[in-house]
Amino acid sequence: MFGLADCNNFYASCERLFQPQLNGMPIVVLSNNDGCVIARSNEAKALGVKMGAVFYQIKDLIAQHQIAVFSSHYTLYGDMSARVMTNLARFTPEVEVYSIDECFLGLQGYSNLEAYGHLVRNTVIKNTGIPISLGIAPTKVLAKVANKTAKKKNGVMVLDTDDKIKQILTTYPVEDLWGIGRQYAHKLIAMGIETAEQLRNLPIDWVQTHMTIVGVRLWRELWGESCIPLELTLDRKKAMCTSRAFGKLTGDYTELREATASYMSRLALKLRREQCCATAITVKLQTNRFNPNHRQTFPSITLALLHPVNNTHDLVKTALEGLRKIYVRGYLFQKVEVMATGLIPETEVQLNMFSEYKGAAHDKLSKIMDNLNAHFGAGTLRMATEGQKQRWTLRREFLSPEYTTNWNDIIKTK
């Protein structure tokens, strides 16, 4: 048996957790630069706020219904996600973190799954304050179906008999199935196949012909045959990227240097946390392709490193060298992107016999920076090339405090 725990309206729930006066009130969370809606509470959904709605186009609706607005705060969401996953891991040794707000659980051999599911759900809510729904079924696809159904009921749904499965699938929209993309959904609906039950009643030969091996796997999972196992170990990443749109368009080379250095410093920290080194660095500049009034260009360059490294000094130096080579005057850029590729574990680094490795001191310096920033707060010590004022940074006018990761913002009681 598989369980799927899914946090309800996760981003909105994280914001509401630390401001209980918002309970029962509509909430929306905006994307980077406060551009569009990426999360909504149930109350906001009921008011007609659409996912992806452009913020400035719904300002009147927000003011009319006094909708609470927040800028996306991924530091907070990531920390709360870790707390939820840690609590879920108490109930089974088999855990697959599928996304920031979803987690598959291996529940084979457990008895009285209905009661156990409520115990899991109530414990997570009590310990973290984040509401979750739990779907339990013989396969991952059916667990997804059970989870979505649980959201509309008491928070827990167990599909452990053929009758229960058939009853749910008879009314379950085929386009909502996990693994059915937009193209397949249009194709199936056009053929009169509108529910999951109708899909699984199709002959296996037809599914194999028209939906390839992915469709066959889905079809078998709907019949209770597990074809998608839990992924209990994470595959090593092949590349890492840091990229954010600026708070304003800019063609100023100094600002682009600061942004490149800042993003590369953040990426270097990610590499050290993953205990891997990069063998190549890619730097890209992007103009706003949605603005026809501006000239467009998307220059990029990939530079090979002499030695695989993850220290901030060498990576920033290489990234700035790449920026210098691709920078073009006369354009307004919206985004800079830095990417580390050819990743290898720190323990498998091979040096170049034709050049001397001079990064040992820079490795030590990066570790010192990490320790100081971990103790005194992110950004306490950074590269001078990152600048001080950073006028190019994201617009985040509705950013909530760092309740769980900054001592200055921690909730205080009297």
Reply yes or no on domain 2-151 having CATH 3.30.70.270. Answer: yes
Q: How far is CA 335 from CA 106, 217, 298, 303, 309, in A?
A: 41, 40, 10, 19, 25
pLDDT tens per residue, range 359-401:
788 889 899 998 988 888 778 888 888 887 777 777 788 888 8
Percent of the chain past pLDDT 90, that is, above it, reads 53
- Classify strands 239-250 and 102-106 as parallel, antiparallel or unpaired: unpaired
The ranges assigned to domains in the chain are: 2-151, 161-222, 239-386
At a CB cut-off of 8 Å and minimum separation 6, what does 167 contact? none
Of 62, 223, 197, which Cα lies nearest the Cα of 139?
Answer: 223
pLDDT tens per residue, range 15-30:
999 998 999 899 999 9
User: What class, spelled out in words, does domain 239-386 have in CATH?
Assistant: alpha beta
Percent of the chain past pLDDT 70, that is, above it, reads 100
For residues 196 and 202, give the distance between their C-alpha atoms in angstroms, rounded to a whole number: 10
What's the whole-model pTM score?
Answer: 0.81
pLDDT tens per residue, range 75-132:
899 999 999 999 999 999 999 999 999 999 999 888 889 999 999 999 999 999 999 9
Domains 161-222 and 239-386 share a fold: no
- Per DSSP, the three-state class of 34 is helix
Structure tokens at 174: 């085929």
Reply yes or no on domain 161-222 having CATH 1.10.260.40. Answer: no
Q: What pLDDT is recorded for position 179?
A: 83
